[in-house]
Structure 1
């Protein structure tokens, strides 16, 4: 069917963005009223929502504010090694890896102190699978379990902290190390992960390392390279929320996104 004579690509694009982008913003700011600058997150929500009168520059700035500043999707500096080297030196080389990623919610406290949001990752190896045996149907089954256990509502939340809790079960491809607010909180998270992995929890495999060192909420400023620089948060006590799950398969350059609460549209479920 041909397009109508008065069809405007620019207007059509804006209408599509208004529908999809604003719907995502509304889902993210559940409970935050529209145009309420008294609410701690009201100003951020107002700034992220597109309006029919926005110019192209305003549209880009609002979307960049939401996805990069609020959602924290800017790439961070990191140390890395080639995938082939990493896969070949681990305990179970070349076995598919499932990774769960959790991230601290945006807050005024983080913005005012210019802190990066705390992050946590938990992963395990599918020791009974290989790159050749792994299939889309198997990945989809794992994704459904993750969605059921971790993606309900706005995502599963747990509290990070200074207590290091390990859970090692090498025959099942499991080597967890969590910094949690308590041993009980770490076990709560581990039990959920093992539920997804379909592995029986064994309390005897738990290890705990308590640290009595004081980690300040706001680290003091220190001199770095001749300039006063805000200190880095270490082992912050804060809540982290499930964000997405990835499946890494040796031979694929990019991970398969199993579940993604960022509404990116490219996950299996």
Structure 2
């Protein structure tokens, strides 16, 4: 019996305007000037008959050997006002990444993703291997087990600010209850208690855009950008950012794409 789930995922990966193959085409868009790159491009493209294993090996080759992503420095963006805050600007940072399951993504749309970032009360001088491994284990227990913690992303913005503890969270959730649950889950990593006074919510009047019409750009048809679409995002991996270290320390990984995670949970 054919794997219908993989067939749909493969269709998304091969989509001409979004997905993996589109990224390959963009990277090799100069092949007219450098014909030798054509053979490399064709090695990277996923075909209609590729198995999941073959497609995975092609993507690893493209990202690791062609783009050399594992060897590139990580750029971490921080708001100017946060950087200027002398109390937290040198504190270590934890980043949690979430992504929508590919088989749940509507055709011709990119998967939803989310990132949650907060500071911990450690600096480059005070953090130790034992401390970050303890955090990694807590994140593994809270977010990575049972196929990964998932939550429903949406149009409501749930804010939680506690500068003294390093929290300045902004969660796009389906509703207030969902956003509060996600925030409490994050606080549980360090054993912090949810304070109602630190929580507020913004409810836009505009409805979410889950499906949009097409628009013509340079003679090609593209889907219009969706406005705060709803959908489940699932925990993918968590990184620790330490000032003075160019690359993040991967604490937990479910994707198999991160470099030497403390915990890998397939």
TM-score, normalised with respect to structure 1: 0.70
Provide the C-alpha distance between the structure 2 equivalents of 1:209 and 1:166, rounded to a whole number of angstroms. 8
1:121 aligns with 2:124: no
Aligned pairs for 1:105-116 (under 5 A) are 105-107=101-103, 109-110=105-106, 112-113=107-108, 115-116=109-110
Which of 237, 243, 254 is equivalent to 2:236? Answer: 243
- SS of the residue corresponding to residue 2 of structure 2 reads coil
Question: How far off its partner does 1:64 sit?
Answer: 2.6
Q: Please, which moves more after superposition, 208-217 or 134-143?
A: 208-217
Deviations 1:8-32 (A, max 9, x none): xxxxxxxxxxxxxxxxxxxxxxxxx
Q: Is contact 1:167–1:175 with CA below 8 Å preserved after alignment?
A: yes
Question: How far off its partner does 1:213 sit?
Answer: 0.7
1:48 aligns with 2:42: no
How many residue pairs were aligned? 215
Provide the C-alpha distance between the structure 1 equivalents of 2:160 and 2:190, rounded to a whole number of angstroms. 14
Question: How far off its partner does 1:103 sit?
Answer: 0.6
- SS of the residue corresponding to residue 140 of structure 1 reads helix
Note closer, same or farther for the CA distance 1:129–1:108 as it changes in structure 2 (3 Å cut): closer
Question: How far off its partner does 1:63 sit?
Answer: 2.2
1:99 aligns with 2:99: no
Specify the structure having the higher radius of gyration (Cα).
1
Gaps of 5+ in 1: 1-34, 51-58
Provide the C-alpha distance between the structure 1 equivalents of 2:58 and 2:141, rounded to a whole number of angstroms. 31
Note closer, same or farther for the CA distance 1:158–1:90 as it changes in structure 2 (3 Å cut): farther
Q: Is contact 1:96–1:249 with CA below 8 Å preserved after alignment?
A: yes
Q: 2:2 matched to which residue of 1?
A: 36
Provide the C-alpha distance between the structure 2 equivalents of 1:195 and 1:84, rounded to a whole number of angstroms. 23
Aligned pairs for 1:1-269 (under 5 A) are 35-37=1-3, 39-41=4-6, 44=9, 47-50=50-53, 59=54, 61-64=55-58, 89-91=83-85, 92-107=88-103, 109-110=105-106, 112-113=107-108, 115-126=109-120, 128-224=121-217, 228-264=221-257, 266-269=260-263
TM-score, normalised with respect to structure 2: 0.70
Deviations 1:236-263 (A, max 9, x none): 1000000000000010111000000013
- SS of the residue corresponding to residue 236 of structure 2 reads strand
Q: 2:24 matched to which residue of 1?
A: none
Gaps of 5+ in 2: 11-48
Question: How far off its partner does 1:40 sit?
Answer: 3.8
- SS of the residue corresponding to residue 197 of structure 1 reads coil
Q: Is contact 1:87–1:93 with CA below 8 Å preserved after alignment?
A: no
Question: How far off its partner does 1:234 sit?
Answer: 2.2
Note closer, same or farther for the CA distance 1:44–1:207 as it changes in structure 2 (3 Å cut): closer
Provide the C-alpha distance between the structure 2 equivalents of 1:105 and 1:74, rounded to a whole number of angstroms. 25
Question: How far off its partner does 1:98 sit?
Answer: 0.6
